[in-house]
Each structure stands twice: as structure tokens, then as C-alpha cells.
């Protein structure tokens, strides 16, 4: 498999995992709040990451990579809390795409600034990808319903910083830097939950399953994204990974009966075209 194809495949895996995880986390957020959901799901991730690192005998990276991982975790936590609150307070089909466009656009601009000039097909694919996540977010009442929009912008900036920090890793380690990310985010979120009196015990089995789903899927998405950046350029990995709103919207359609509008359907088609064009290089 070529590095470009590997980047696209891992990016798609990240987008599918994050999209499903966002849906699951948003469902739990409606019952116990974003702080509790992120604290519990990240605690699960903190238990999984070092265990996997030990199982695959991954060597410890330099201290600098661990610090970058911790910084990425803090940035990602800000983004995730903002996104979960945006998703639970507004329509999922608006908040997720806005965050996605920003989280993809900023790393892409950085990649271009560092001299990574895309080919013709890739450039068209980037445009299609950014347009697709915007169209997927369009709804018939979008101009009147902007609930959660500001939080979605904060989420996008937080995710972009998360992407950039992980792309700066100097080693090929995956699980130890993500362990540092989870340790930092878990410490902050558990402290916040305890200070604010948020519930950390979930008795409703369905809510607990949603929290576990959010945690496991977020871990899978993070691992896939790191592998995507290690195989190729940040811009490619960020844009393909940012297609996760398609999964969120499709799950909202099937489980919440949210209507998929014509622009959203066009957006999903553009997302597929974007993946094909980016893969062509």
C-alpha cells in the first residue's frame, strides 16, 4: 500500500470512528452532561492506551513527544467538550460540520504554508472535502437555528490544535503519546467534574453503553489519525479525517429520524468524490 493510500485509509477510519463516537457521546451528554461524558470516556481511554502499548511492546518516546501528546490532549478536550455541548444543544447536522470545516481548514493551511503543494486532483479533492462537510450541515432552518454555533467554532479550533500537535511527533510511537494525551485530559476533566459536582456514576445501562462507545470509538479514531499522519501529509490526513460529520448525520438519520436534505445528500456525494480525488494524488 502506498503512503498516500495508507493515509487516506487511516483517515477514513478516523472519520468513521469519530463520527460514531460523537453521536454516542452526544446521546449520553443529553442525560449526564458533557463534562461527565468526557471525563468517563477519557478515563476508559487512559486505561486502554498503556495496556495496548505494553501488549505491542511499543518503546517509550522522547519526553518532548510525551509533552506534545499531553498538549494535544488538553486541546482535544476543549474541542470535545465544546462539540458535545453544541451537539446536545443544537442540531447535530449543524454543529458537527462547522467544527469539522475549521478543524480541517487550519491544518490544511499550515501544511500549505510549510510548502506541501498538492497536485491538481488533490487540490480539487480538498475543495470538495471542505464543501462536503459544509453542505452536510445545511438544513432547511439553518438560518434561523444557530444554537451551538459558537461552541462548534471553539471545537473546531481545539481539534485543529490537536491535529497539529500530533503531527509534530518526532518518533513513530502511537500509544504512549496518546497515553500522555489521555492522562492530561482525564486529570483536567475528572477535576472539573468533581469540582462542579457532576455525576461520575452512571446507573442507566443505555447511558453507560453510550459513554463506553464514545470512549472506545474516540480511542480508535485517535490511533487511526496518528497512523495517517505518520504515513503522509497533515493536510491530507486532516481533510479526510474531517469527513466524520457524514457518519454523525447518517446515524442521526437512522436513530433520531432527522431528515437528510438534498444539500446534505449532495455533500455526502462530494465527500466520496473528495476521497477518490485525494487518493489520486
Would you state the pLDDT for residue 186? 92
DSSP assignment of 12-61 equals HHHHHHHHHHHHHHHHHHHHH-HHHHHHHHHHHHHHHHHHHHHHTTPPP-
So what's the pLDDT on residue 50? 93
Report the pLDDT value the prediction gives residue 147, as an integer from 0 to 100.
58
Tell me the chain's radius of gyration from C-alpha atoms: 18
For 40, half-sphere exposure in the C-beta direction (CA atoms, 13 angstrom radius) is 22
Per-residue burial over 5-24, b if 16 or more Cβ lie within 10 Å, else e, is: eebbbbbbbbbbbbbbbbbb
Cell, residue 47: 486505561
What is the DSSP track for 226-262?
Answer: HHHHHHS-HHHHHHHHTTTHHHHHHHHHHHH-----H
pLDDT score of 123: 92
In 122-133, which positions are buried (b, 16+ CB within 10 angstroms) versus exposed (e)? bebbbebbbbbb
pLDDT at 31: 85
The x, y and z cell numbers of residue 9, run together, are 485509509
Cell of 42: 477519557
Distances (CA, A) of 28 to 180, 206, 227, 254: 25, 8, 28, 17
For residue 188, the number of C-alpha atoms closer than 13 Å in the C-beta half-sphere is: 18
Residue 193 CB contacts under 8 Å (≥ 6 apart), including other chains = 35, 36, 39, 200
Please state, in angstroms and rounded to a whole number, the distance separating the CA atoms of residues 65 and 171.
7
Asked if 82 contacts 158 with a C-beta cutoff of 8 angstroms, the reply is yes
Which residue ranges of the chain lie beneath pLDDT 70? Answer: 87-94, 96, 137-148
Q: What are the backbone dihedrals phi and psi of residue 141, each rounded to the nearest 5 degrees, phi first?
A: -110, 25
Spell out a b/e string for 64-89, using b for 16 or more CB atoms within 10 Å of the CB, else e: ebbebbbbbbbbbbbbbbbbbbbbbe
Q: What is the pLDDT of residue 140?
A: 44
C-alpha to C-alpha distance for 169 and 154, rounded to whole angstroms: 24
Amino acid at each position: 500500500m502506498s503512503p498516500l493510500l495508507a493515509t487516506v485509509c487511516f483517515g477514513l477510519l478516523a472519520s468513521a470512528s469519530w463520527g460514531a463516537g460523537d453521536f454516542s457521546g452526544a446521546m449520553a451528554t443529553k442525560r449526564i452532561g458533557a463534562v461527565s461524558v468526557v471525563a468517563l470516556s477519557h478515563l476508559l481511554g487512559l486505561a486502554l492506551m498503556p495496556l495496548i502499548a505494553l501488549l505491542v511492546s511499543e518503546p517509550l518516546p522522547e519526553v518532548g513527544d510525551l509533552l506534545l501528546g499531553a498538549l494535544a490532549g488538553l486541546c482535544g478536550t476543549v474541542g470535545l467538550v465544546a462539540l458535545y455541548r453544541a451537539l446536545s444543544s443544537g442540531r447535530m447536522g449543524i454543529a458537527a460540520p462547522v467544527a469539522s470545516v475549521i478543524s480541517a481548514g487550519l491544518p490544511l493551511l499550515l501544511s500549505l504554508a510549510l510548502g506541501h503543494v498538492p497536485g491538481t486532483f488533490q487540490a480539487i479533492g480538498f475543495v470538495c472535502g471542505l464543501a462536503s462537510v459544509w453542505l452536510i450541515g445545511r438544513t432547511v432552518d439553518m438560518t434561523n437555528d444557530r444554537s451551538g454555533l459558537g461552541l462548534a467554532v471553539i471545537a473546531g479550533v481545539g481539534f485543529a490544535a490537536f491535529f497539529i500537535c500530533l503531527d509534530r511527533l518526532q518518533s513513530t510511537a502511537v500509544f504512549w503519546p496518546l497515553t500522555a494525551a489521555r492522562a492530561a485530559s482525564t486529570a483536567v476533566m475528572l477535576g472539573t467534574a468533581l469540582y462542579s459536582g457532576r455525576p461520575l456514576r452512571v446507573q442507566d445501562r443505555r447511558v453507560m453503553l453510550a459513554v463506553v462507545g464514545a470512549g472506545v470509538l474516540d480511542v480508535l479514531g485517535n490511533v487511526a489519525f496518528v497512523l495517517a499522519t505518520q504515513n503522509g501529509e497533515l493536510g491530507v490526513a486532516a481533510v479526510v479525517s474531517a469527513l466524520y460529520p457524514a457518519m454523525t448525520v447518517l446515524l442521526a438519520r437512522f436513530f433520531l429520524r432527522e431528515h437528510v436534505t438534498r444539500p446534505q445528500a449532495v455533500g455526502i456525494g462530494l465527500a466520496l468524490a473528495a476521497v477518490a480525488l485525494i487518493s489520486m494524488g
